[in-house]
Amino acid sequence: MRVIAVDGPAASGKSSTAQAVARRLGWGHLDSGALYRAITLATLDNIGDGAGGRGTGEEWSPQRILALAEDLPVRLVLVQDVFRPEVAGVGVDEAIRSERVTRRVSEVAAIPEVRRWVNARQREAARDHPVGVVVDGRDIGTVVFPDAPLKIFLTAGPEERARRRLAQRGERTSPDELRREADALAARDRADSSRPVAPLKPAADALLLDTTALSLDEQVARVVALARERFPG
């Protein structure tokens, strides 16, 4: 099985690392969070904020959300070795990073039926890729691909993660904004770690990599070296 699992908390550098590793190896890259984000976007746009009478639209139900994902559809499309999220045939790379999606994604990702659907899409993508896939998320090594030959769990200090996330958005980083971002990341980590289904945690056989003091190039080089050992030839 040619799968590399890269898990870790919000803004630990999973996606940038997974994407760069995939490019270096000539493998595909699948960001599972992008699929949860795309379903969240589709839900907000088509059902509303789920607050019933107090908000817009109807209340959220797993059946409604899954029917949307199937019918619109929400899917991953392989473009030059990157699985890109689409909703109803439109690429949503940018829209899924918006604040309103980020605020609600952990709620959608806590729904067991949604997780089953997303996991099936990931396994299909991996099965259909001709070479191999680097998949990043929260439960890739524990639930989605428990037999992946290489599992990495990335961590980084909360302030460093907040700094990276703001830098990624090109925003200036006042101490206030940094604190707010660190709080938002911590809240999402708490939600992702404490949910009953597929909580964020390292697989027993995952290699832990603390990237607080590493550059992106350094962390990519380490994972590529491990991959070359684990997948010779």
| Residues that bind ligand CDP in the complex, under the rule CB under 6 A | 10-11, 15, 32-33, 36-37, 105-106, 109, 137-140, 188, 192
**In the complex, what is the shortest distance from the CB of residue 190 to ligand CDP, in angstroms, rounded to a whole number?**
10
For the chain, the 3-state helix, strand and coil shares in percent, each to the nearest 5, are 50, 15, 30
**Which CB, 109 or 125, lies closer to ligand CDP?**
109
Read off the tokens for 70.
């199937």
**In the complex, what is the shortest distance from the CB of residue 105 to ligand CDP, in angstroms, rounded to a whole number?**
4
**Which CB, 15 or 43, lies closer to ligand CDP?**
15
Helix (H, G, I), strand (E, B) or coil at 189: helix
**Which CB, 84 or 138, lies closer to ligand CDP?**
138
**In the complex, what is the shortest distance from the CB of residue 233 to ligand CDP, in angstroms, rounded to a whole number?**
29
How many whole angstroms separate alpha carbon 45 and alpha carbon 231?
Answer: 42
**Which CB, 2 or 188, lies closer to ligand CDP?**
188
**In the complex, what is the shortest distance from the CB of residue 222 to ligand CDP, in angstroms, rounded to a whole number?**
20
List all residues 6 or more positions away from 93 whose beta carbon is below 8 Å from its beta carbon.
34, 84, 85
**Which CB, 8 or 132, lies closer to ligand CDP?**
8
How many whole angstroms separate alpha carbon 215 and alpha carbon 49?
Answer: 38
In order, the DSSP letters of 139-159 are SIIIII-TT-SEEEEEE--HH
**In the complex, what is the shortest distance from the CB of residue 188 to ligand CDP, in angstroms, rounded to a whole number?**
5
